[in-house]
Structures are given as C-alpha cells and as structure tokens.
C-alpha cells in the first residue's frame, strides 16, 4: 500500500479525501469533530504502510517479542504524538492552515483515552513508546475500557465523579477486529479422566463464556519507521451464550446476558494502589490475559512452532499483580490443551514471565479469596495449588522443615481468609522480579519479599522507571525543545543523556535569559489554559509551586496544605511581613478513589483553603491556591513545563518510584522532596545543591514507627504547626463549622500514619530555602538548567535498555 506524498499538497489532498469519504462531508460544512476525525485518518494513512511493514517483517523473521501485560495504559492524546513520530507536525499545521483550519482547535477536540489511574498506567504508555522508538518488537496487551478513569468535578469543593465516555464521538485511532474474537471461559468445574496410556487428564468444563474482541492501536517509534501494536480487548457476548438463552425463549434474559458479558470491559476500576477484591475485577484480569495468551500462542501454533521453546519467542512482562492469573493460564494451555507434563510446562512457564512490583504498601498487594477464584476459575485454582505444592517442597528442601517459613512463603494465605497471594505467585513464577527505583527494589528484597530474596537472590533486580522525552519534553514543551536543539542539536530526543551537553550553558547569561523566556511563555500558556478550562486566573509573575498526583495519604497532600495554611496564618497574624514573601501560586491536581474518604476530605479541604486564601486581601499578590479539577495527561502537558517547583513529599519508604518527579526535573523545575522512590536518584543525578531535600530517611521512619510515633508531641511543640492545625480546626475554612474537617484534624493529632507532623518542621525549613533561592534569579535558573542537563538518565529509553539487558534478553531489530 502506498504512503501519501509527504508534502503539504499531498497532506491537503489526503485530508480532504478523508473528510469526504470517511466523514461524508465537504470542507465547507464540516464540523470540528469531522475535521479532527479526518485529520486522524490522514495521519493513520501515513503510518499505515510502516505498520503493515513492521508486522510483515516480524511474521517473516520472528524476533523475540515483549508481551507487555498491563491492566492500564494511560495514553494521553494520540494526534500530536503520532504526528511527531511520523515527522509530519509542521506539514500538517501548514496543510490545515491552507484549508483555513486552526490546528490547535483540532488538537483540543481529542478526548484523551484515560485507560489508567496514574503512574502505573502512564509508565506502560511510556514503555511502549520507547520500545517502538528503539526498534524492539513489543505487543502491549490490555483492556479497552468503555469508561476510563472518571471525570472529576467539584461541587462545593467536594469531588463528584462523572463517567468518562471517551468513545462517544468515535475513536479514530483504533482498528476493531471482531473476526479475531477469542472465546474466554468462566466458572463450572473440572473433570478427571484417564486416557488409554493410564495418564490422568483434567478437563475444565466451564459454564459460561464471553468473546474478547481485539482493538489494535498503532504505537509509532520516533522517526524510525517502526510501528508496534497495542492490542486492547473488549468483551462481548458470544453467540453460544445468547443462543442458549434465546432457545429457552426468554428474549429479555438474552439481552441481559449480553449486558452481563459486556460489563467485563465496561469500566476501569478507579482505585490506585489500593485494589478492592471485587469479582468483576478478577474477571477483567482473567479476560484480558486469556485473550492475550491465546492471541500470541495461536499464532505460534499456526506456524508449527514448538511451544517447548516459547521463551525464544516471547517474554510476558507482568505489570504489577493485575495480570498474574496469566501464569496458571499458560500452565493450563500447556498441560490441558497441549499435553505437556506438569514439570515440563512449569519449566517453560517460568522462562516466559517476569514480574514488576510497583508498591510497598501492604494493602496494595492483591490477594484473591480461594472461594472466589475457585468459583470463577476452578482449573486455575487447582494449578495454583499444584504450583504451590511443588514450590513449598523446594522451600523445605532448601531450608529444612522450617514450617514457619513454609507458612510465611506459601502462595496460599490461611488468614484472615484462605486466599491466593498474587505477588507471591508472580515471584515464584517469574524469571525475574524487579522494583521500580533503587530504594524500592532494595526495600522489596528486605521488607516485602525477604524470604524469597533469600531463596533466589539472583531473581531480584532493579529497573528505575523512566518517562518518554517525546511526549513530555518534545511535544509538551516545544519552546524548551527548540532552545535545546538550537544549542546542542536534535539528537537528544532519542538519546537523552546528550542533555549533558547543556551543562556549560548554565553559565551562559544569554542561555539563561532564553530559558527564563521559555518558562514565562509556558506560564502564559498555562494561564490561558486554566482560564479557558476552569475559569481560574493565575499570576504569571509568581513562583509556580506544583503538586500533581493521585490523592493518597502516603503522598501527603495534607503536608502541603499545612504549608499553605501556615504561610497564610503567618501573614494574616502579622508575624510575617508580606513584603518579605515571594509571590507564590500553589497548584494542586489530584483525583481521589471514589470510596476513599480521607482522600476526598483532603480534596475538600484544599478547595476550601483555596477559597478563603484567594478571597483574602491580606495575602493578595503573595499567596494563591489553584486546584483545577480533572487532572489528566493533557493538563500535565501544560502544567509541568510551566512549573518552578515540584512537590515530591511522600513519607520515605512509601512511594515506589514516582514518575511525575522525573517529568518536572526534565522540564527545569526544582524538586522539594523526601529521600523516597526515584527522588533519591534524581538528587544523585542533579546534585544536592540543585534539590531541596527534607524529612526523615526510610530507616528513620522505620525507627520512629518501632519506637512509637506520637504526632501530638509535634503539635504541642511547634507554634506554627499548632497555629495552622488550630486554624483549620476552628472552622476558618468551613464557614465556622468545626465538624467539617474534624476527621482530618483528629487524624493528624491521634494517628497520622504517614507522619506528616514529624516531617513538618523540616519541610518548612526546606521551603524557606526555596524562598531564598528563588529570590536569586540567576542561581535558580542555573539550577533549573542543571536539572535538565543531568536528568537524561530518566528517559524511559534507558529503562528499556535495562529491562532488555537484565530481564528480557531481547534484541532490537536492525
Ligand atoms: C505505582 C507507584 O505508586 C509509583 O510510585 C510508581 O511510579 C508507579 C510506576 O512504577 O507505580 N504503583 C501503583 O500501584 N500505582 C503507581 O502509580 C498506581
């Protein structure tokens, strides 16, 4: 198939053709959505030949592929990204111009697919971008949720969730293939039979099933002609399913059955880090991994490939525990369908999986009650028991009959309810287990999985997360990109360590001036966006102090609120002279899981504090709080390039990595942060003097916890802290009603699980340093430039190299 000519005229012709033939309209009577849809098809047409070519090469000369199994992909908008990757951005802009269309308006028309909660889903999107750019064969497998992460609105300062119907205006980036639907079974029972050779055979007799329909998305590499595939599965009722019920004569029941099946891919669970053990969630997990494994293996079988060597063709990377049910599924396929012996199948399976753990929070480690798993997937439960028996035999062989250890390590937990520990299953099955930042990987070995580390020290490794420079610098910060390219050439976009060449420019007054202009430009752009989107006005001369991430107690948005309230209180009480205060706009962006009360109360508090502070003349021009609703990738792309200060203030030992922290540093914001997650490595790279460190270290946190933490003593012992908490407790931010924020206040004073009060004084000191540094414009700018120059390590291209070397042993296709 031919690619349209790569010229403005060629693009115009293709675009008009798409408008006519796909949208059925002429330019003069087309809507913005028509134009956006036609533009998307045009871009697809340019990428199509490369996609087909990538696929053909892989078919003719199969390379080992990464099967990235992830329940979430937080993709962000596609249009800009695909235009960038195909080198068509300028041509498209000019072509649209010639048609009298404003490119920016069409870009704004795209609804971002929010098929993830936060860092974990966005990481998956960065990784598949990097693999395509590095010419590594990869298929991303996941779920095509009909409703992604909810749209957040505020009503009287409280979060209200709206469904995210991202598909309602059509989704021009996907290709549905109903003809390749995969049947997925559930429920029923198993039967044992003995064949003519006396071998026992198990058959799963399921009692219901659904159809998984694949939707393919292009994943273009950056200017390299490669287009990998993201395959997301959508659930439909199968014919058999319908017919059975139709035959029973109940039409209404049949339609209900269809809805039941489609429910499986209906909605993304909005819990971030704290899964709810809901049956539908397990259905989703099994649904997408069963489809994905079938998809890949059926292809190998068609080719006549020997599945004993499956690991030469694929490595399935388990993105957290969500896809871990793939382990017994592969065992089932090999044993029950392909006639492998158990040991033989286990040997293959162990080579085909690797597991990434993304958390340290005990409540985030998924477990499934045996009762539920057995009802939904009876054969898988049997296989899990069998895997566990064999594993525990190895434990006994290695450590003697240490029954305490055996109980600790068992994949099956007995209390409080008999259940399957998915992280343990993944660890036992995986060829490698990795954490997502150096500190996290160490804590994973020492605290979460110490027994496993003792058993298999070689299994454990670290791969520090990364972010794609294409989306988060080149696309999101075009003015900075131009400044960088004008100084060191264009090669940095897929070789981010080259940003080092910027170091000398920190000493160059001209460059610093240009950098400040870039920041000013980005602030102005942000101001326009917030005005349009939220009716929020911000002062572009302020320091922009940003905390954007999911709302979670461990991330400590409440510590940031205490800082804001302290500043406010100090000014209005006259203890702080406004003339001595650097004008500051604090921006929050955060969604709370709908059932997470403390997180929602904190959102309410932030909004109420914003209301009072912003209306108080005594702090005008000095302190402003902005909390735009519905923080998402699209807003991040505007917010991060404008930021001066990046807030990464989790309690040490709680944030596995963080990836927002990397995006800020790479866009020239300075970090105020704890010694946690990837902050540790960011500080090592950018240098102590360009990072505002505060707070307890992880061992100090552990010590304090062991000694017994008493938040009340911090409150009593610190006038400013007491003042801030008392002000909130007094009803100053709740129209005098002291009850409204009582749960937050009493939590601070009596429990404070994440020790915000213990780190408060140190945080305030660090903020004072921020304030002093910001006053020295030149010194601040130098630090910002050095942050950029020294953060090349945090490219997701580097993360991919680490995975390839340590875990996957795949090769780029030359
Ligand atoms: C997370 C971690 O909380 C976060 O620190 C990490 O950067 C991210 C990607 O590795 O994974 N784990 C998790 O469950 N969610 C995350 O964002 C939702």
Three-state SS annotation for 432-453: CEEECCHHHHHHHHHHHCHHHH
Domains of the chain: 1-61+81-111 (no CATH), 62-77+112-464+801-808 (3.40.50.2000), 469-794 (3.40.50.2000)
Degrees to nearest 5, angle at CA 365 with 363 and 371: 100
What percent of the chain has a predicted confidence (pLDDT) above 70? 99
Yes or no: say if 742 and 729 are a contact pair by the CB < 8 Å rule: yes
437 CA distance to ligand 1 middle (Å): 11
Structure tokens of 395?
Answer: 């434990």
**pLDDT score of 694:** 99
| pLDDT at residue 239 greater than cutoff 80 | no
Yes or no: say if 348 and 310 are a contact pair by the CB < 8 Å rule: yes
Closest CA to 448 of 385, 364, 526, 370: 364
Pocket test of ligand 1: the residue of 272, 276, 358 to mutate, having most ligand atoms within 8 Å of its CB, is 358
577 CA distance to ligand 1 middle (Å): 41
Please tell me if the CB atom of residue 523 comes closer than 6 angstroms to any atom of ligand 1.
Answer: no
Annotated catalytic sites, by residue?
A: 358, 549-550, 555, 659, 663
Alpha carbons 540 and 524: distance in angstroms, whole number: 7
Please tell me if the CB atom of residue 659 comes closer than 6 angstroms to any atom of ligand 1.
Answer: yes
Three-state SS letters, 356-374: ECCCCCHHHCCEEEHHHHH
657 CA distance to ligand 1 middle (Å): 7
| pLDDT at residue 254 greater than cutoff 80 | no
At a CB cut-off of 8 Å and minimum separation 6, what does 400 contact? none
- Nearest atom, ligand 1, residue 119 CA: 17
Please tell me if the CB atom of residue 465 comes closer than 6 angstroms to any atom of ligand 1.
Answer: yes
Kind plus residue range of the DSSP H or E element containing 114:
strand 114-115
- Nearest atom, ligand 1, residue 118 CA: 17
| pLDDT at residue 355 greater than cutoff 60 | yes
Alpha carbons 204 and 332: distance in angstroms, whole number: 9
405 CB-side CA count, 13 A: 18
Please tell me if the CB atom of residue 657 comes closer than 6 angstroms to any atom of ligand 1.
Answer: yes
| pLDDT at residue 662 greater than cutoff 60 | yes
118 CA distance to ligand 1 middle (Å): 7
Closest CA to 183 of 205, 213, 141, 204: 213
Q: What is the ipTM of this complex?
A: 0.98
Please tell me if the CB atom of residue 810 comes closer than 6 angstroms to any atom of ligand 1.
Answer: no
| CA distance to 476, 695, 713, 760, 766, per residue, from 755 (Å) | 35, 10, 12, 9, 17
DSSP, res 411: S
Comparing 276 with 75, the larger pLDDT belongs to: 75
Mean pLDDT of 201-211: 95
Mean pLDDT of 208-229: 97
Please tell me if the CB atom of residue 364 comes closer than 6 angstroms to any atom of ligand 1.
Answer: yes
Three-state SS letters, 648-693: ECCCCCCCCCCCHHHHHHHCCCEEEECCCCCHHHHHHHHCHHHEEE
**pLDDT score of 242:** 56
pTM of this prediction exceeds 0.90? yes
Pocket test of ligand 1: the residue of 650, 656, 663 to mutate, having most ligand atoms within 8 Å of its CB, is 656
Pocket test of ligand 1: the residue of 114, 117, 118, 363 to mutate, having most ligand atoms within 8 Å of its CB, is 118
Specify the residue with its C-alpha closest to ligand 1, atom 17: 119
Query: CB 100: neighbour CB atoms within 10 A?
Result: 8
Please tell me if the CB atom of residue 272 comes closer than 6 angstroms to any atom of ligand 1.
Answer: yes
Pocket test of ligand 1: the residue of 657, 681, 796 to mutate, having most ligand atoms within 8 Å of its CB, is 657
Q: What is the pLDDT of residues 463-482, one digit of tens each?
A: 999 999 999 999 999 999 99
CB-count burial class (<10 Å; 0-12, 13-18, 19+) for 252: exposed
Structure tokens of 780?
Answer: 């601040």
| CA distance to 14, 101, 170, per residue, from 28 (Å) | 16, 11, 21
Mean pLDDT of 55-76: 97
**pLDDT score of 195:** 84
Pocket test of ligand 1: the residue of 71, 324, 433, 436 to mutate, having most ligand atoms within 8 Å of its CB, is 436
Please tell me if the CB atom of residue 149 comes closer than 6 angstroms to any atom of ligand 1.
Answer: no
769 CA distance to ligand 1 middle (Å): 29
**pLDDT score of 198:** 85
**pLDDT score of 498:** 98
Please tell me if the CB atom of residue 677 comes closer than 6 angstroms to any atom of ligand 1.
Answer: yes
- Nearest atom, ligand 1, residue 358 CA: 12
**pLDDT score of 124:** 99
Please tell me if the CB atom of residue 662 comes closer than 6 angstroms to any atom of ligand 1.
Answer: no
Please tell me if the CB atom of residue 423 comes closer than 6 angstroms to any atom of ligand 1.
Answer: no
Please tell me if the CB atom of residue 358 comes closer than 6 angstroms to any atom of ligand 1.
Answer: yes
Specify the residue with its C-alpha closest to ligand 1, atom 13: 273
244 pLDDT band (50/70/90 cuts)?
A: low
CA 257 remoteness from chain centre: 33
- Nearest atom, ligand 1, residue 356 CA: 10
**pLDDT score of 363:** 87
**pLDDT score of 246:** 59
- Nearest atom, ligand 1, residue 677 CA: 5
Closest CA to 783 of 537, 425, 582, 506: 506
Q: Average pLDDT over the chain, rounded to whole? A: 96
Mean pLDDT of 782-796: 98
Please tell me if the CB atom of residue 640 comes closer than 6 angstroms to any atom of ligand 1.
Answer: no
Q: What is the pLDDT of residues 704-763, one digit of tens each?
A: 999 999 999 999 999 999 999 999 999 999 999 999 999 999 999 999 999 999 999 999
282 CA distance to ligand 1 middle (Å): 20
Specify the residue with its C-alpha closest to ligand 1, atom 7: 658
Please give the full DSSP string across 131-187, using - where no structure is assigned: HHHTT--EEEEEE--SB-SPEEEEETTEEEEE---TTTT--TTEEE-GGG-EEEEES
């Amino acid at each position: 198939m031919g690619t349209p000519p790569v010229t403005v005229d060629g693009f115009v012709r293709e675009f008009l053709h798409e408008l006519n033939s796909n949208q059925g309209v002429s330019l003069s009577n087309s809507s913005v959505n028509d134009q956006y849809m036609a533009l998307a098809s045009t871009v697809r047409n340019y990428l199509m030949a490369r996609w087909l070519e990538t696929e053909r090469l892989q078919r003719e000369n199969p390379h080992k592929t990464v099967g990235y199994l992830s329940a979430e992909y937080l993709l962000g908008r596609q249009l800009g990204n695909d235009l960038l990757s195909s080198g068509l951005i300028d041509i498209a802009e000019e072509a649209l111009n010639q048609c009298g269309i404003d490119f920016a308006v069409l870009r704004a028309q795209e609804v971002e697919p929010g098929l993830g909660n936060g860092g974990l889903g966005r990481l998956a999107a960065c990784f598949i971008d990097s693999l395509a750019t590095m010419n590594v064969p990869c298929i991303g497998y996941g779920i095509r949720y009909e409703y992604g992460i909810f749209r957040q609105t505020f009503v009287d300062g409280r979060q209200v969730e709206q469904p995210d119907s991202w598909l309602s205006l059509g989704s021009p980036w996907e290709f549905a293939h109903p003809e390749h639907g995969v049947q997925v079974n559930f429920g029923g029972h198993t039967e044992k039979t003995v064949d003519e050779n006396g071998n026992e055979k198990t058959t799963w007799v399921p009692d219901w099933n659904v159809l998984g329909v694949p939707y393919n998305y292009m994943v273009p590499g950056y200017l390299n002609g490669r287009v990998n595939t993201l395959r997301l599965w959508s659930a439909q009722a199968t014919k058999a399913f319908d017919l059975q019920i139709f035959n029973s004569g109940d039409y209404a029941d049949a339609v209900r059955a269809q809805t039941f099946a489609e429910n499986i891919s209906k909605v993304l669970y909005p819990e971030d880090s704290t899964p709810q053990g809901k049956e539908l969630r397990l259905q989703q997990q099994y649904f997408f991994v069963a489809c994905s494994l079938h998809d890949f293996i059926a292809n190998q079988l068609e080719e006549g490939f020997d599945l004993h060597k499956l690991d030469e063709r694929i490595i399935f990377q388990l993105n957290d525990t969500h896809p871990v049910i793939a382990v017994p599924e592969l065992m089932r396929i090999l044993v029950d369908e392909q006639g492998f012996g158990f040991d033989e199948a286990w040997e293959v399976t162990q080579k085909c999986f690797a597991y990434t753990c993304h958390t340290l929070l005990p409540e985030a480690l998924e477990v499934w009650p045996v009762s539920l798993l057995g009802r939904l997937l009876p054969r898988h439960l049997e296989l899990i028991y069998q895997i566990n028996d064999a594993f525990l035999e190895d434990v006994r062989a290695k450590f003697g009959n240490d029954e305490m250890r055996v109980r600790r390590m068992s994949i099956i937990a007995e209390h409080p309810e008999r259940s399957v520990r998915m992280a343990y299953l993944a660890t036992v099955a995986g060829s490698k287990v990795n954490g997502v930042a150096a500190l996290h990987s160490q804590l994973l070995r020492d605290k979460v999985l110490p027994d496993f580390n003792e058993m298999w020290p070689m299994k454990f490794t670290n791969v520090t997360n990364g972010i794609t420079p294409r989306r988060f610098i080149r696309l999101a910060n075009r003015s900075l990109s131009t400044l960088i390219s004008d100084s060191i050439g264009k090669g940095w976009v897929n070789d981010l360590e080259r940003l080092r060449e910027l170091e000398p420019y920190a000493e160059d007054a001209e460059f610093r001036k240009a950098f400040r202009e870039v920041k000013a430009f980005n602030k102005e752009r942000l101001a326009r966006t917030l005005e349009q989107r939220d009716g929020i006005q911000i002062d572009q001369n302020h320091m922009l102090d940003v905390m954007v991430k999911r709302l979670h107690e461990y991330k400590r948005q409440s510590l940031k609120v205490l800082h804001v309230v302290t500043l406010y209180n100090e000014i209005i009480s006259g203890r702080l002279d406004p003339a001595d205060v650097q004008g500051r706009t604090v921006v929050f962006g955060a969604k709370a899981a709908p059932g997470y009360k403390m997180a929602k109360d904190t959102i309410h508090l932030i909004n109420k504090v914003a209301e009072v502070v912003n209306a108080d003349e005594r702090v005008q021009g000095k302190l402003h709080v902005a909390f735009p609703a519905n923080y998402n990738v699209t807003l991040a792309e505007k917010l991060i390039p404008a930021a001066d200060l990046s807030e990464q203030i989790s309690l040490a030992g709680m944030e596995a990595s963080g990836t927002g922290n990397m995006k800020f540093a790479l866009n020239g914001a300075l970090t105020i942060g704890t010694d946690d997650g990837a902050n540790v490595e960011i500080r090592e790279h950018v240098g102590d003097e360009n990072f505002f460190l505060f707070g307890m270290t992880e061992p100090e946190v552990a010590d304090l916890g062991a000694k017994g933490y008493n938040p009340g003593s911090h409150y009593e012992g610190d006038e400013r802290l007491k003042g801030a908490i008392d002000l909130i407790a007094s009803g100053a931010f709740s129209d005098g009603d002291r009850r409204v924020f009582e749960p937050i206040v009493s939590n601070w004073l009596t429990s404070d699980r994440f020790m915000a009060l213990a780190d408060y004084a140190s945080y305030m000191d660090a903020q004072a340093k921020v304030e002093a540094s910001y006053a020295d414009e030149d010194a601040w700018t130098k630090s910002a430039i050095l942050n950029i120059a020294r953060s090349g390590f945090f490219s997701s291209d580097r993360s991919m190299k680490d995975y390839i070397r340590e875990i996957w042993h795949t090769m780029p296709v030359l």
